[in-house]
Chains A and B, each alone.
Chain A
Amino acid sequence: MAGYWIGIDTGGTFTDLVLAEPSAGRWEYHKVPTRTADPAAGIHDGIRELLALSGVAAADVAFLVLGTTLATNAVLEGKWAKTGLLTTAGFRDVIELARQRRPDYFNLDKVKPVPPASRDCRLEVAERVDVEGRVVVPLDESTVHAAVAALKAAGVQSVAICFLHSYQNPAHEARAREIVEAAWPGAAVCASYEVLAEFREFERCASTLVNASLMPIMASYLDRFEAGVRELGVPRTPRVMQSNGGAVTPAAVKRLPINTFFSGPAGGVIGSARLGSRIGLPNLITFDMGGTSTDVCLIKDGEPAKKSQREMGGYPVRTRTLDIHTIGAGGGSIAWIDAGGLLKVGPRSAGAYPGPAAYGRGGTEPTVTDANVVLGRLSPESLLGGRMKMHPDKAREAVEALARKLGVDPVQAAAGVVEIVNVNMMGAVRVISIEQGEDPRDFALVAFGGAGPLHAVEVAMAMGMRHVLVPARPGLLSAEGLLQADQRGDFSLTRLVVLAPAQLPAIDAGFAELRRRGEAWLAEERADAGASVSEWSADLRYVGQSFELVLPLSGGSLDEASVAALVEAFHQRHREYYGYDIRDQAVELVNLRLALTVPRPRPSFSKVAAAPVGKPGSREVWFPAGGYVRSPVYDRSQLVPGMAFDGPAIVEQMDATTVVPPSARCRIDDAGNLHILLGEAQS
């Protein structure tokens, strides 16, 4: 694909834009404030400015991809559309009954979420399908007509349809959907079998309702985005990043907006995976630490880990996503002391305003950033390449106040804040590695985001990891990553049968249905079916269990021999994960899955300058082993391929600061990435 490529990463505060000229290996960057009131317009301004800065004509843009947090923000702020729901008679309250647990066992102020469809907009229709998919009560179409009329009158903007056991037999849902569309042309409508053809009614209903409630919002945003991009003169249809790490057309996202909850952080994960593959590090854990939150994800053999369920706005949303684990701790997290006298960090954040005390904007509470300033890890002078002045005296005052309450000296308090935030980070890394049966010591940690490189090395050390990778531009890896994404569609279908040759016809019908859905998706994406790669897998468990293990299949079919092999593979996997297997227990198939990937050519990564400029400075930096040490402070532009040095050292650049502790060795590779090797100092 010739021409210019543009990646747009919309964050909460800033939108990062990158322009790549793959044939020349050229990269341009731009950063604009995110306009929360009119996000599409902000993006158009950003593209226009980026093109002007780069001297590129819009007509020469061959590929443009957007990472968006629109769906996430709409859910977190409860700004979804007024939605109607059609359900099986007797079941309109499933969404409120949920799983009958309190959202928090002890905190009674945490109440159940208010559903996007209020009770009066959840209407029942006469129909019932049983657990085998047989019709027990035929669909009474007159009840559907009546319900649609009532919902229209109630002023809903979107309609969701969720009937019992539709994953087994979607005919009633499909027919109801036709009736809604015929009676209400242009209405936003979705049925649960299209959103999530899996069993468990509450989870399926929640996913469907959340999806429906986002459809009108996403449609209006993407319509404006596409129109604006066309007006700028970009000739190609743009793409939108999904949570699964693949980009698709806006049309696909308008139908399934729940697929974009991790659209934003997915760019960084894909960027890391591609970077790792290129430099021979296929096993990575990503560590993307910003001001208020931190995202981590595990990448094995070049493939990011995936997950099928996330909680959004208090609802379980089942959709294929990268297994990105987010915790509410970052550079702006505030340190405090609880009633028992224990030091705590976060989840409250000082945000961008007033921000940490060190920013001098009126913040007085001690934050992680302030602790880093006191310890000499962050520059006491300025950040953002000199654009933001720091106030170390204010950071110190804030930390001293904390220290007095704890009865320790300020350095101990600051070190404690850093240690506790690092423990929170370890917890996040633990969730995606150890709890998934992976040993973090087999992985390198990739540090990016504004605060990632500041904390990564200590987190790695505490987890026993030996290798930390800091990309050339840690603050822009997410935007770069958007340009590295393939097109990807994920499809699944519940097929609850014992895994045995007698069930092959039912299983084959499931494969055929998934194949049909995949082909429809390829047609919509205007992708070349010949170039697509299919990955099939199956969720399996012992008959009687409720949680499944995912096993890969060699293709979209099974026969007697491959069924036997699959059963054997399941026993082995169960033993690996849980330490035992049950040879005489039957194995059950739960879901069939298909992932379709249409690969795209990859741009090369940005190049770095070849000659060092100037000499490093130095300052006192505190380390857990030995306290304050005079440490060299490098400007990133002084580090050129082939260089290596031992810690202690600090590396500063416009978008991040990296801490290299004593006993670590830092080496710069050909592409300008820093490799910090723990316990390998030469001196």
Chain B
Amino acid sequence: MTESVTTPKPIDPTESDGWNQFNTDRVQPIKRYALRNPSLIWGCGLVFFLMLFVGVGHVVWDTEQFRPLSTPTRLAPTLSHAIVKGGELTGEVKPFPFGTDTAGRDLLAVAILGTPLTLRIGIIAGFTSIILGTVAAFVAAYYRGWLDGAIRSVVDVGLAMPGLLILILVRINIGRELSVDEMGLALGLVGWVFPARTIRAQVLVMREQAYVELSRLSGTSGMGIIFKEMLPNLIPYITASLVGSVAGAILASIGLEAIGLGNFSTPTLGMTIFFNIQFSSITLGMWWWWLPPLVAIVIVFLGLFLISSGLDEWSNPRLRKRV
């Protein structure tokens, strides 16, 4: 082992008291960067807000009411306990702040349960596709040769075939409903081609850079170069494409569910959208049915979009010039 050659900073005993030191060393630069990159902060804030809603909801609300027939049907959102028909008090119920749908689901419970389920699909699919895509990209771009050719043609063909359509075919042939995790995995398995393509391009540029060349000349193995030199430098880019993949997978999952191939027993946001389209809630005037999943989805996408453009700015400093 070689010893570190950097000379340690002279320690001033008055300054090095725990948090203050940490604050100036670590937190200050992050704070300063955050102020320069507001879209990252806004994006994280939006997603955090949604998670807060879900977390608090799980604690304070009875989420078992997501099941059909657990509440009176077609109640508009109300905080009062009374059911009034024709000016007369006909009964008393629990209040439903988000209202209920035609099948008697409590829409607040649906929103609380559905949001994390949809995010879960996205995260499983996002990680699956990024891991597969990154491995494929590094193998292709670093080792080149016939392997590169093979991976590239698979990717090109994959890009020409929309994953959603392949999933529709697979799902029809399986003949049963996919669980949330299975759907995430399936989306990840068809979604890796896009990150593979973009990351491969980045690796191709990177392997010609001087520091990679230097590392190769000094005898570092291929794996060593990939893991010690290239991967750390690509982390911001890979994170940005991870966020993109998560968003894409959520989009595809909601699409799959909206077209009637979702899991009818899980209250994901996409299934709520499906029921809305199916029972034409818009023409029924039941705005409280379609608005919450819509707002939740918009917050998720806006949040992910802002995070990914913030990360883009981080990984590609050229974008920092005048926005």
Are A and B bound to each other? Answer: no
